[in-house]
Structure 1
């Protein structure tokens, strides 16, 4: 499944920029695996079929209306 949007939640704009781009290329599953290597960096990913994927660190902390 393709990715149409990646929103990073991080303390570093540099990490946000560096990590968001590969998620577009890798897709959701491999992108999530990549993020596991960088603790403290979270993401909201929207797929081409309209699904929203929230990394575990953000679950219960944000509410996004669809």
Structure 2
């Protein structure tokens, strides 16, 4: 009340991360698989930026894209 409204401007700088890479709105991480893992299935735990533990897995015969 009795004040002029205005905008707030935030200037953010993205800091490089040793494991995660950002492309636009997407977040990428590299993980090396052996040929056996790629063909027969695999699972590993990925620690996300907020320290959540994510189980990443594939079933035998599932196509894995590089």
Into which bin does the TM-score normalised by the smaller protein fall? under 0.3
Give the structure with the higher percent strand: 2
Larger Rg: 1 or 2? 2
The TM-score normalised by the length of structure 2 is: 0.27
Q: Which structure carries more relative contact order (alpha carbon 8 Å, separation 6+)?
A: 1
The TM-score normalised by the length of structure 1 is: 0.27
